C-alpha cells in the first residue's frame, strides 16, 4: 500500500494500514524539511478525543491544553479586553500541529517505510492497482494507493479531475507568540478561554496551545475577514498553490481592521506577534463524490475540505484513518472494505463542508450586529448558524444528524447559570 502525503492524515493512515495487517506500507512525503517545526494550533473536541483515544490514535501523553469557554467580545471604550456579549461552551483540547504530528510519526511501526523529499507528481490507476510517478523520474506500482495529500491532491485528481477546491472568498490571518508576550493584565485572557473578538465582517479566535515540542505555552490566533480585491485574485485558481506569506498589503489591511474594531488588549497582542510567525490561509471548500474508487482511496483534506470554523479538520483526518483501518480489518475483500469506508465517511465529509459554509456566512460574510446581542441572542444565533450540530466533528459510526451525533456540550436556547456567572464575573476585567 502507498500513502501519498505524510502529515497528520498520512501518519494516521500509515498507523491504520499497519494495524490492518498490510504487508507493505510506503509513505511518500514531498517535504524534505522538519514537519514538526510547523507551530500552528488546532483543537479537538473532548468527545471526539475520547473516541480516538479508545481507538489508539491519541492519548493524554501528547502535549495539550484544556479549553472550556468561548466568550464573544466586542470593543468598548471602557474595557481594555472588550465586553462579552455572550459565552458558549468550548470543550476542546488544543494542540501544537508540529508536536501532534511528531507524536503520530513516532508511533508508525519501523516496518513502514516513510520517505521524505519524495514528491508524487501523478497517479495512474489500473484495474488491480495504481502506479505512482515521482518527481525524480521513478515509477512504482501498488495494489492500493491512499491519498492523504491535502487540498491539491494528485490522488484525487486521478479519481475525479473536476473535484477542485473552490475559494470561499475570504482569508484567515494566523499567528503564534509565546504566552509570556501577552499584554497586561493577564487576567483579561483566562487560561481556558477561546476568546473570540467579533467585528463587522469577521472575527478573531485566540487560544493557548503547547509550545514547540510540548515545551512551554504559546498563544494561537486566527483572524477571519475578506481581503481587499487587489489581494484576493491569486487565491482564485485552485491549480496554483497560493502564497501563505502575509504580504505588506495584507498586513496593512489587518492593521486597519484592528485599529477600527479591536479592543486594545487584542490589538496589542497581534502587534507583538513576530512577522515570521504570521501567515495567511485562504478558505477553500471541496468534497469528492466518493472517498474510494477502484484501488484509490482519499482521506483528510484530500477527500473533503471544510473551513476551520467547524473545529473538525484534524478530527476528520484521524477519523477517516480510523474508519479505513476498521474497514480493511473487517473484510478480506478489498472492494467490500473500501465500499464500507466510503459509505460511512463521504456523508460526513459533505455535512462538514456545508457546516463550514454556514458558519463562514454567519461569522464573516453576513455577520450580525454583534454589539446589540446578549447571551440569549448569541445562543440562538449559534444554533441558527448550525453550530449545534457537527461542530467539533461528528461521532464515529454515526450518520450526520443522528441524535447521538450531537456534541454533549451544545448550549440550549436558555442560558445556564454557569454561563451567566461567567458573563457577570469571569470574563470582564
For residue 129, pLDDT over 90 is answered with yes
What is the per-residue pLDDT across 226-262, written as a single tens digit (0 to 9) for each? 998 877 667 776 666 667 888 899 999 999 999 999 9
Res. 108 pLDDT band, cuts 50 70 90: very high
Peptide bond between residue 185 and the one before it cis (omega within 30 degrees of 0): yes
For residue 263, pLDDT over 80 is answered with yes
What is the per-residue pLDDT across 206-218, written as a single tens digit (0 to 9) for each? 999 999 888 999 9
- Which grid cell is 86? 455572550
For residue 103, pLDDT over 60 is answered with yes
5: left (phi over 0), alpha (psi -120 to 50) or beta: left
Pairing outcome for strands 195-199 and 69-74: parallel
Res. 415 pLDDT band, cuts 50 70 90: very low
What is the per-residue pLDDT across 58-89, written as a single tens digit (0 to 9) for each? 999 999 999 999 999 999 999 999 999 999 99
Q: Is 389 helix (H, G, I), strand (E, B) or coil?
A: coil
CATH of domain 2-405: 3.50.50.60
Q: Which pLDDT belongs to residue 313?
A: 85
Q: Which pLDDT belongs to residue 409?
A: 47
Q: Which pLDDT belongs to residue 230?
A: 74
Share of the chain above pLDDT 70, in %: 90
What is the per-residue pLDDT across 5-47, written as a single tens digit (0 to 9) for each? 999 999 999 999 999 999 999 999 999 876 666 668 999 999 9
Res. 426 pLDDT band, cuts 50 70 90: very low
For residue 314, pLDDT over 70 is answered with yes
Enumerate residues 6+ apart whose C-beta is below 8 A from 243.
Answer: 234
For residue 52, pLDDT over 70 is answered with yes
Q: Do 347 and 385 touch, CB atoms closer than 8 A?
A: no
For residue 410, pLDDT over 80 is answered with no
DSSP 8-state secondary structure symbol assigned to residue 402: -
- Residue with grid cell 514538526, as numbered in its chain: 36
What is the per-residue pLDDT across 164-195, written as a single tens digit (0 to 9) for each? 999 999 999 999 999 999 999 889 999 999 99
pTM of the predicted model, to two decimals?
A: 0.91
Amino acid at each position: 500500500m502507498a500513502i501519498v502525503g505524510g502529515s497528520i492524515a498520512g501518519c494516521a493512515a500509515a498507523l491504520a494500514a499497519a494495524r490492518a495487517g498490510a504487508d507493505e506500507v510506503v509513505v511518500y512525503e514531498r517535504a524534505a524539511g522538519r514537519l514538526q517545526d510547523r507551530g500552528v494550533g488546532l483543537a479537538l473536541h473532548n468527545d471526539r478525543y475520547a473516541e480516538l483515544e479508545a481507538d489508539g490514535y491519541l492519548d493524554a501523553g501528547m502535549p495539550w491544553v484544556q479549553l472550556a469557554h468561548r466568550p464573544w467580545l466586542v470593543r468598548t471604550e471602557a474595557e481594555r479586553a472588550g465586553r462579552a456579549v455572550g459565552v458558549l461552551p468550548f470543550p476542546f483540547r488544543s494542540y501544537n500541529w508540529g508536536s501532534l504530528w511528531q507524536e503520530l510519526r513516532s508511533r508508525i511501526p519501523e516496518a513502514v517505510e516513510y520517505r521524505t523529499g519524495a514528491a508524487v507528481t501523478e497517479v495512474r490507476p489500473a484495474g488491480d492497482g495504481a502506479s505512482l510517478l515521482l518527481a525524480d523520474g521513478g515509477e512504482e506500482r501498488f495494489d492500493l494507493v491512499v491519498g492523504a495529500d491535502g487540498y491539491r491532491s494528485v490522488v484525487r485528481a486521478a479519481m475525479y479531475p473536476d473535484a477542485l477546491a473552490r475559494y470561499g472568498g475570504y482569508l484567515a490571518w494566523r499567528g503564534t507568540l509565546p504566552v509570556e508576550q501577552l499584554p497586561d493584565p493577564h487576567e483579561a485572557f483566562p487560561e481556558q478561554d477561546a476568546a473570540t473578538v467579533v467585528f463587522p465582517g469577521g472575527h478573531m479566535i485566540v487560544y493557548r496551545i503547547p509550545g514547540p515540542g510540548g515545551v512551554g505555552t504559546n498563544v494561537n490566533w486566527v483572524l477571519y475577514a475578506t481581503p481587499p480585491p487587489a489581494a484576493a485574485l491569486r487565491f482564485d485558481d485552485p491549480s496554483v498553490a497560493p502564497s501563505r506569506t502575509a504580504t505588506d498589503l495584507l498586513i496593512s489591511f489587518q492593521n486597519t481592521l484592528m485599529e477600527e474594531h479591536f479592543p486594545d488588549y487584542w490589538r496589542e497582542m497581534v502587534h507583538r506577534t513576530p512577522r515570521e510567525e504570521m501567515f495567511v490561509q485562504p478558505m477553500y471548500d471541496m468534497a469528492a463524490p466518493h472517498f474510494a474508487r477502484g484501488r484509490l482511496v482519499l482521506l483528510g483534506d484530500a477527500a473533503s475540505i471544510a473551513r476551520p470554523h467547524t473545529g473538525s479538520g484534524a478530527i476528520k483526518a484521524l477519523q477517516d484513518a480510523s474508519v479505513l483501518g476498521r474497514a480493511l480489518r473487517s473484510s478480506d475483500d478489498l472492494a467490500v472494505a473500501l465500499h464500507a469506508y466510503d459509505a460511512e465517511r463521504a456523508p460526513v465529509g459533505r455535512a462538514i463542508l456545508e457546516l463550514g459554509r454556514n458558519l463562514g456566512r454567519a461569522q464573516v460574510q453576513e455577520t450580525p450586529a454583534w454589539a446589540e446581542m446578549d447571551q440569549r441572542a448569541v445562543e440562538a444565533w449559534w444554533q441558527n448558524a448550525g453550530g449545534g450540530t457537527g461542530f467539533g466533528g461528528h461521532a464515529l459510526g454515526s450518520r450526520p444528524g443522528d441524535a447521538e451525533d450531537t456534541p454533549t456540550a451544545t448550549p440550549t436556547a436558555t442560558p445556564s447559570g454557569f454561563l451567566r456567572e461567567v458573563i457577570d464575573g469571569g470574563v470582564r476585567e
